[in-house]
Amino acid sequence: MHPRNAAARLRAGLVPCLCLLVLAIAGCSPDGYPQTALRPLSDFARIGDHVQDQTLYWALGTFVLVEGALLYAIFRFRGKPGDPEPRQVHGNTAIEIVWTVIPALILAAIAVPTLKGIFLVNGKPQGQLLEVEVVGHQWWWEFRYPEYGIVTANELVIPAGRTVHFTEHSVDVVHSWWPPRFAGKRDVFPGRETRIWFKADSTGLYPGQCAEFCGIQHARMAFHIRSETPEAFDAWIAHMQTLGPPKAASAPAPAAADSLRTASAGASVQQEAQGDPLAAQGETLFRNKGCIGCHSLQAKGAPTALIGPNLANVGSRAYIAAGWLKNTDENLEAWIQDPQALKKGVLMPNLGVKPDEAKALRAYLRAHK
Ligand code: CUA
Task: Note the pLDDT tens digit of each residue in 130-151.
Answer: 999 999 999 999 999 999 999 9
Closest Cα to atom 1, ligand 1: which residue?
175
Percentage of the residues of the chain whose pLDDT score is greater than 70: 89
Cα of 139 vs centre of ligand 1, distance in Å, is 6
Strands 140-145 and 150-153 come out as: antiparallel
Axis-axis angle for helices 277-288, 267-274 (nearest 10): 130
pTM (2 d.p.): 0.82
Q: Is 210 helix (H, G, I), strand (E, B) or coil?
A: strand
Cα of 176 vs centre of ligand 1, distance in Å, is 6
Q: Which residues line ligand 1 (CB under 6 A)?
A: 136, 139, 175, 210, 212-214, 218, 221
User: In which band, very low, low, confident or very high, does the pLDDT at 2 lie, cut at 50, 70 and 90?
Assistant: low
DSSP string, 74-87: HHHT---TTPPPPP
Instruction: Tell me the C-alpha distance between 298 and 157, whole Å.
Output: 16
Q: Is the pLDDT of residue 228 over 70?
A: yes
User: In which band, very low, low, confident or very high, does the pLDDT at 4 lie, cut at 50, 70 and 90?
Assistant: low
End-to-end CA distance of the chain: 77
Handedness of CA 89, 92, 95, 96 (dihedral sign): positive
Q: Are 364 and 279 in contact (CB under 8 A)?
A: yes
pLDDT in tens, 242-290: 998 876 544 444 433 333 434 444 444 554 556 788 888 888 888 888 8
Cα of 128 vs centre of ligand 1, distance in Å, is 31
φ/ψ of 96, rounded to 5, equals -65, -40
Q: Write down the mean pLDDT value for the chain.
A: 87
